Amino acid sequence: MRTIIEPFKIKSVEPIRFTTPERRKQLLSEAYYNPFFLHADDVLIDLLTDSGTTAMSALQWSGIMNGDEAYAGSRSFFRFEAVIRDLTGLKHIIPTHQGRAAEKIIFSLVGGKGKVIPNNTHFDTTRANIEVSGAVALDLLNELGNKPEVRAPFKGNMDVDALVSTIEQTGRENIPVVMLTLTNNSGGGQPVSMQNIREVRDVCNRYNLPLFLDVCRFAENAMFIKQREQGYENKTVKEIAQEIFSYADGALMSAKKDGLVNTGGFLALNNDELAEKARTVLIVTEGFPTYGGLARRDLEAMAQGLEEVLDEDYLTYRLRSVEYFGEKLLEAGVPILEPPGGHAIYLDAKRFAPHIPPEHFPGQSIVCAIYQEGGIRTVEIGSLMFGKRDAEGNHIAPPMELVRMAIPRRVYTQSHIDYCIEVIANVYKQRKSLRGMKIDYEAEYLRHFTARLSFL
Ligand SMILES: *Cc1c(COP(=O)(O)O)cnc(C)c1O
């Protein structure tokens, strides 16, 4: 088979800036060893996130010029609404400025004290919005999902038996919605199978509960289904996506991922009453329902992006480029979460730096070393992001300690990825010199964004 190439050519370029390891050592200490504080100009290759970092297409940019900036009833809104309705089949399409705005709206309406919201794995902002409302965010990932060394096709699946026993124990009246996140970002960008979505839907039917999908990466998930699940090989990705949405009563999306835009999102609902309430909150907090906190040109770019993302040449290249990164790291002996997910490669920090216990943040230590070695920015997804404390102040570690290297869409070429592989392989060779860390300052919620750390 021939090399799968980038299915685009480059029309506009942006220079990236080189720094020395000595300079980066200094910059890291000024950033409290938290790469969220680094200036992006001091980053050579930025794998912090795939969110909002997409390169837009020529058609998206021309859509931006073509946007209709009317406050109410904008033509750009109607295009946006039509595209999402065609894709999701859902009735009410409510634009928001990004994913968490949709989360804030929905959980302020259905959350609250005493409520429990199950998901395969809640993303950090989803969890935070649920917890801020007073409700409990419950992760019911299947057992394989927490075993980074095991290869399986659909490690994002929900444990359906655990869902049933949760409903039985909690009482269906305390569960406002059941959720599934496609792909499972916090669980390694692993896909959920159509069969699992159907099984979860069946359970929801049995208990008369609504199913909401967090669909930030629905197209990547649909492509995995096409490649891996029997019966879907001859369907188009769009048909697969439409089937996924057919099982949902609602969907939340950060379009900064598979919407191929730099900002935007939406909430889509079937329930009239809930949609009415959501629009009221939207008007108070985001804006009028035909723009939801966005410029109308952003809706135009989102509509175009949601069509482009279903291009199967694009998705083939997208999944292959991430897989290539993972394959080469494995060849260099570097432990990663297997198999590679859709949008990112995750280093398995427990195996990478087994001498650093979870309470001393092995992932964060690796993050710092990778930046210092090669100017690459990555992010810890482990004890720093999800760690808790018990009543005595002892650290409670999450199941996995990972370092995420998210690949922005359509931004970097194969030689950028080859460079990253060289840098990480080199850090891995020197892994015994990695040191544990401690937190010197943390905020109450989402502490990883603003935490200040130092080495022990
Ligand atoms: C990014 C993301 C969100 C939140 O979206 P923002 O646009 O960053 O607010 C929610 N869920 C998942 C799975 C995500 O990846």
Q: Who's near 177: CB < 8 A, 6+ residues apart?
A: 106, 110, 117, 209, 210, 211, 212, 249, 250
Same domain, 303 and 318: no
Position in ligand 1 atom list of the atom nearest CA 256: 7
Same domain, 353 and 427: yes
* Alpha helices, H only, 113-217: 124-132, 160-170, 194-207
Same domain, 281 and 356: no
- From atom 12 of ligand 1, which residue's Cα is the shortest distance away? 123
Q: How far is the CA of 23 from the centre of ligand 1 (A)?
A: 33
CA atoms within a 13 Å half-sphere pointing along the CA-CB vector of 455 = 11
pLDDT at 148: 87
Amino acid present at 21: P
| CA gap 62, 10 in Å, rounded | 16
Cβ–ligand 1 distance for 125 under 6 Å, the answer: yes
Cβ–ligand 1 distance for 203 under 6 Å, the answer: no
Asked if the structure places residue 80 within a domain, the reply is yes
Amino acid present at 433: S
Cβ–ligand 1 distance for 123 under 6 Å, the answer: yes
Same domain, 29 and 164: no
| CA gap 78, 267 in Å, rounded | 15
| CA gap 112, 132 in Å, rounded | 8
Tokens of 167: 């409903």
Q: How far is CA 118 from CA 175, 211, 255, 292, 454, in A?
A: 8, 10, 23, 27, 35
Asked if the structure places residue 15 within a domain, the reply is no
Q: How far is the CA of 65 from the centre of ligand 1 (A)?
A: 27
Tell me the torsion sign for CA atoms 98, 102, 104, 105.
Answer: positive
Tokens of 84: 């999402």
pLDDT at 444: 83
DSSP for 36-81, please give it: GGS-GGG-SEE-S-SSS-PPPPHHHHHHHHH----SSS-HHHHHHH
SS3 assignment, position 443: coil
| CA gap 259, 128 in Å, rounded | 23
Amino acid present at 125: T
Best mutation site among 214, 253, 286 for ligand 1 pocket (most ligand atoms within 8 Å of CB)? 214
Asked if the structure places residue 13 within a domain, the reply is no
Give residue 73's region: left, alpha or beta (phi > 0; psi -120 to 50): left
Tell me the torsion sign for CA atoms 272, 273, 276, 281.
Answer: negative
Cβ–ligand 1 distance for 343 under 6 Å, the answer: no
Domain that holds residue 366: 21-50+312-455
The domain that holds 417 is classified in CATH as 3.90.1150.10
Tokens of 421: 């592989």
Same domain, 111 and 204: yes
Cβ–ligand 1 distance for 293 under 6 Å, the answer: no
Q: How far is the CA of 441 from the centre of ligand 1 (A)?
A: 25
Same domain, 230 and 342: no
Q: How far is the CA of 105 from the centre of ligand 1 (A)?
A: 14
Tokens of 353: 């730096």
Cβ–ligand 1 distance for 97 under 6 Å, the answer: no
Q: How far is the CA of 253 from the centre of ligand 1 (A)?
A: 7
Cβ–ligand 1 distance for 406 under 6 Å, the answer: no
Asked if the structure places residue 5 within a domain, the reply is no
Cβ–ligand 1 distance for 51 under 6 Å, the answer: yes
Same domain, 231 and 123: yes
Same domain, 286 and 380: no
| Residue 166 β-bridge partners | none
Q: What is the pTM of this model?
A: 0.95
Asked if the structure places residue 155 within a domain, the reply is yes
Domain count, the chain: 2
User: ω before 285 within 30° of 0 (cis)?
Assistant: no
Asked if the structure places residue 3 within a domain, the reply is no
- Cβ contact 197:247 at 8 Å: yes
DSSP for 288-334, please give it: -TTTTTS-HHHHHHHHHHHHHTT-HHHHHHHHHHHHHHHHHHHHTT-
State the Cα angle at 300 between 6 and 344, rounded to 5°: 40
- Cβ contact 14:53 at 8 Å: no
With a cut of 70, list the residues of the chain below it in pLDDT.
none
pLDDT at 124: 87
| CA gap 440, 453 in Å, rounded | 5
